[in-house]
Amino acid sequence: MRALTFSVLSPSLFKVTGHRRRRRSFSPVSRRPSHRSGMSSSFSASALCNVSGSSNSSESMKDPYPLWKFVVKGDRISGGGGNYNWKCNFCSEVKNGSYTRVKAHLLCETGKGIQTYSKVKIDDPAKLRKLHRESQDYKKSLLPKVPPFSNEPIFSHTSIEATLVRLGGLPFNLSRNPYYVSSYTIAANSNFSSYKPPGYNKLRITLLCKETENVDSENWSLYKDDRRGQASYVREKILDEIWWEKVDYILDFTRPIYDMIRVCDTDQSSLHLVYKIWDIMVQKVKDAIYKKEGKLDYEESTFFNVVKGILSSRWSKGSTPLHSLAHSLNPRFYTEEWLNEVPGRVVPNANNEISTQRLQCFRRLFQSRDERFKINTEFAIFSQKLEGIFLNIDCMHDMAMMDAKNWWATYGSQVPMLQALAYKLLGQPSSSSCSERNWSTYKFIHSCTRNKLTHKCAQDLVFIHNNLRLLSRRSEEHT
């Protein structure tokens, strides 16, 4: 820290004059102990006598930081805030900090992270506290007064109800809570003259923990006595191992469904993976059900047929031909590694359903017959690896290793129309969740109370909000 030097100033410079935070120039200070003690006692007598003066006390009352006058302020400390290097005029010690540390030092407040001064008369802190208290009282007197509710007496029913209306942010359904009613009933029938309601931290921590402890076995016994049949049923189920086995079974065959929804319900590009995830999900559901029922793979399961029928109906309702087209453009699905992972897998162009929907997409995207002929030719070259760059050994190796979009950027130049289509599809998410989040953001910005925003302004606000949220996910603080 940069060293500070101080000059021995006359006690008259420290009189309470009402001028706040005046800068002074510093010069080397004498280190003789006798001179320091003489200055300290001289200042203490002079400054504190001025504190008790009527005119100076009136001006000091209006100063929001009166204790700055009892230290010599140096330069501001870098790093922001109101921190300064300063020297106490009572003990001549050099310290640093804000006005809070000055107050703790001069008023002998412990536990504030700063040492209090000791070489002082016994009545000096009391005079300084009085000066600080008068300044605080004056600041409170400047606060705006709350307008009266009405001409009713201050403790009338009308005034109390008007006070409740002024509690902004509380839901009106609070009035239906029986504990809300009982709290005011207790307060009205009791004489709590000095009672103050609990603060934020007491409500959030202390009282909440105490109330949590009240939900103990004794309360459960009372509940059991009132609803003995229900309590016995709950206890029986919780202790029943067969019931827990059923819960585990339900979780086993529903977990693959949940995992597929989680993968697809993101902003990431997954349109080309939906078909593969669907097949894997159905197989995992079948394995869980067949394992529970003890059936072999070729046997029929009535329960699995019901579950598969429900899943198939949802698939027919939510799938589109674009899923098949994106699946057909994923180069990894044409490799031996992928085909050998599960028995019975075939390449996309050998699957009748996928090929039919792919051709349907081509007819929709390319209206001209010549364009369709060209795109079909390019797809044949790609899927069969007939010629050119697709016969390259690195190209065939990277089909199983590289990201699909990166592979098309590296090796797709031979089929430009198919390459452009792959760029669009392989970067698409598989659900509208990202759009729905964007609509939620737009609703947050353009609300009923903020409806005068122009379309351009609202669009810019949504754009900024979403991109800042995406950037925040890359930060270390995001969890």
- Check residue 467 and give its pLDDT: 74
Angle formed at CA 139 by CA 137 and CA 142, multiple of 5 degrees: 110
More confident site: 292 or 124: 292
First to last CA, the chain: 37
Contact criterion met (CB below 8 Å) for 324 and 358:
yes
pLDDT tens per residue, range 423-459: 988 888 887 776 776 677 777 777 777 677 777 877 7
* 362-367: average pLDDT: 91
Distance CA 473, CA 466 (A): 11
Max mean pLDDT among 146-155, 327-336, 447-456 falls in 327-336
Average pLDDT, the chain: 76
- Check residue 45 and give its pLDDT: 44
pLDDT tens per residue, range 22-74: 444 333 333 333 333 443 444 444 445 444 444 455 665 677 788 888 888 88
- Check residue 25 and give its pLDDT: 39
- Check residue 419 and give its pLDDT: 93
DSSP 117: P
- Check residue 88 and give its pLDDT: 86
- Check residue 282 and give its pLDDT: 92
Distance CA 60, CA 66 (A): 6
Among the residue ranges 120-129, 163-172, 257-266, 412-421, the one predicted with the least confidence is: 163-172
Distance CA 14, CA 71 (A): 9
More confident site: 408 or 138: 408
- Check residue 118 and give its pLDDT: 64
DSSP 294: T
What is the token pair recorded at 259?
A: 């995992």
Percent of the chain whose predicted confidence (pLDDT) is above 90: 20
> What does pTM read for this prediction?
0.45
- Please say if the pLDDT value at position 285 is more than 60: yes
* 211-240: average pLDDT: 69
318 backbone φψ class: left, alpha, beta (φ>0; ψ -120 to 50): alpha
- Check residue 181 and give its pLDDT: 80
Among the residue ranges 1-5, 229-233, 271-275, the one predicted with the least confidence is: 1-5
- Check residue 102 and give its pLDDT: 85
- Please say if the pLDDT value at position 226 is more than 80: no
18, burial (CB in 10 Å: exposed 0-12, middle 13-18, buried 19+): middle
- Check residue 387 and give its pLDDT: 83
Give the up-direction half-sphere exposure of residue 282: CA atoms within 13 A in the CB hemisphere.
15
More confident site: 12 or 316: 316
- Please say if the pLDDT value at position 255 is more than 90: yes
- Check residue 30 and give its pLDDT: 36
Contact criterion met (CB below 8 Å) for 304 and 290:
yes
What is the token pair recorded at 93?
A: 């010690």
CA dihedral 368, 374, 378, 384 (to 10 degrees): 100
